Copies of this chain bind each other. A is one copy, B any other.
């Protein structure tokens, strides 16, 4: 009887490389050549050149032998990156970021994220649901997610105290991503800063229209025929961070504020989920106050 042949089955892993650098001839070739040199195979690649700013952006998804670690690849790519003045990240795919979800009294966005995650639609490792109210406690419990109630005490230092607790909690949770799923308290710059590019908010309007409070009331009073929702990275300035995703719905005079709010909820949940998914799939690059979201 013949011997069993030894089949060299290489186990493959997938990684995503995100690059930003000044535009120059030869970048694409340099990246592709490097990937080929480490035995990688490009599965998807997308580039964007911002002509007015002379900047180049690229997302490359490639497979590589699982025996080659991400650290090894990162170290290897460093030389290419230096040569082309690149900023880059190299992340395993799928990536399962440890995530905190913050909400207040409106629970549709938080419920939707928890629900999608159970279908494998998002791929989050949800570490906690955090809220200044306790309405979300049963929701978190039904999905077996730890719930943290951080109420604002009615004292002169109540707000500051709560912010300190929240900052400490987020640090101690050691999360990769913070999602503000209709968290209705404005966060101070010091709290936001450590999470730059890792904190996503849903604003219930088509920004930059209707910045600030009660956007559906504002939309009603202006008599618009379209409403929207905007998911964006949080920056120091309220509602001014880089926009990741937006969507809109047609409305009419028949929509009073309550009906606008109801229609808007569907937008908010879908837009926030879309932004979170793009972030988790490492499809978002920021440049100044804008994003490149690869398809």
Binding site for B on A (CB under 8 A): 25-29, 32-33, 35-36, 40-52, 57, 107-108, 111-112, 115-116, 119, 121, 142-143, 206-210, 221-226, 228, 242-248, 250, 252-254, 256, 262, 265-266, 270, 273, 289-293, 295
Contact = CB atoms under 8 A, between A and B. Distances in A.
21 contacts: A25-B40, A25-B41, A29-B33, A29-B35, A32-B32, A33-B33, A44-B47, A44-B49, A45-B47, A46-B47, A50-B256, A121-B262, A222-B289, A222-B290, A223-B290, A224-B246, A225-B245, A225-B246, A248-B248, A250-B250, A266-B273
Contacts of A33: 29, 32-33
A5 B115 CA distance: 55
Contacts of A273: 266
Number of copies: 4
B254 A295 contact: yes
B256 A266 contact: no
A191 to B, nearest CB: 24
Given A253-B291, A253-B293, A295-B295, A28 B47 contact: no
Given A35-B29, A224-B207, A225-B245, A119 B115 contact: no
Contacts of A48: 44, 253-254
A28 B45 contact: yes
Contacts of A295: 252, 254, 295
Given A47-B45, A208-B210, A253 B29 contact: no
Nearest to A33: B29
Contacts of A243: 222-225
Given A270-B270, A295-B252, A25 B42 contact: yes
Nearest to A271: B225
